[in-house]
Amino acid sequence: MHVLIVEDEAKFAALVVRGLTEEGHSARAVSRGEDALWEAHASQYDVIVLDVMLPGIDGFETCRRLRDDGIGTPVLMLTARDEVEDRVSGLDAGADDYLVKPFALRELLARLRALARRPAGGGTPVLGVGDLRLDPATRRAWRGEAELELSAREFALLEAFMRRPGEALSRLTLLENAWDPAFELRSNLVDVYVRYLRDKVDRPFGRSSIQTVRGVGYRLSEDGA
């Protein structure tokens, strides 16, 4: 899953991002509702985790604006108070679920998986590029009818490619989408995992869909050839 965390408590946001990335998901954190609106328009997320109390516009108003702008991404709202009025306000603003702080990470993950399985706007959450398919909610991927056995990191990297097929993605972009942003770009982490991914996604099927773009990084060929 690709998750947007909207939380102004930096340490708490960092803990959630770390927990998600350790489970093989990609996550980005912002601290203001205004930034969340920009991110939601700029990138495709599977779920948005939105805190109620934010500087600037609060979580309720942020959620209302997302829905007014036609963004149907599932929203999980966070609050430090377990009050009926807050839950009703959040749901009326367009939120899909509610979670009270403090919470167990495993409960957050379960709720995010459930939300990601809900098709936003009547579409399908399964990504497809050629005969490659990937389901972010169940963390399963296929080449044709063959299911791919991928590690958490390999899955996150393939998901990053499949969300932007045909685009040349830099190593920095891939790091930001598939790993914790704290990783150093000077490491050859991306190159190593691209090789792992090719060994599972391309070579057994006689394909070369993950292509090297000299001076830039890599791209996933849209035709999968």
Give me the residues paired with residue 217 across strands: 170, 213
**pLDDT score for 19:** 87
**pLDDT score for 83:** 66
What's the CA angle centered on 157, arms 153 and 159, to 5 degrees?
115
Mean pLDDT of the chain: 85
Contact 134, 160 (CB under 8 A): no
Q: Please report, for residues 7, 8, 50, 164, the alpha-carbon distance to residue 11 in angstroms, rounded to integers and kept in the order given.
A: 10, 9, 15, 30
3-state secondary structure of 135: strand
Confidence check: pLDDT of 7 > 90: yes
Q: What is the largest CA-CA distance in the chain?
A: 58
Give dist(CA 65, CA 123) in Å, integer: 21
Structure-block tokens of residue 176: 């930001």
Tokens 């972010």, located at residue? 136
pLDDT digit string, tens, across residues 149-194: 998 889 888 988 988 888 898 888 888 777 755 555 555 888 999 9
pLDDT digit string, tens, across residues 45-86: 889 999 998 999 999 999 999 988 888 889 999 887 666 677
* 124 confidence band (pLDDT: 50, 70, 90): very low
Contact 2, 46 (CB under 8 A): yes
Confidence check: pLDDT of 141 > 80: yes
- Phi, psi for 52 (deg, rounded to 5): -70, -50
Mean pLDDT of 4-15: 91
**pLDDT score for 81:** 67
Structure-block tokens of residue 169: 């993605």
What's the CA angle centered on 201, arms 196 and 207, to 5 degrees?
115
DSSP string for 147-162: EP---HHHHHHHHHHH
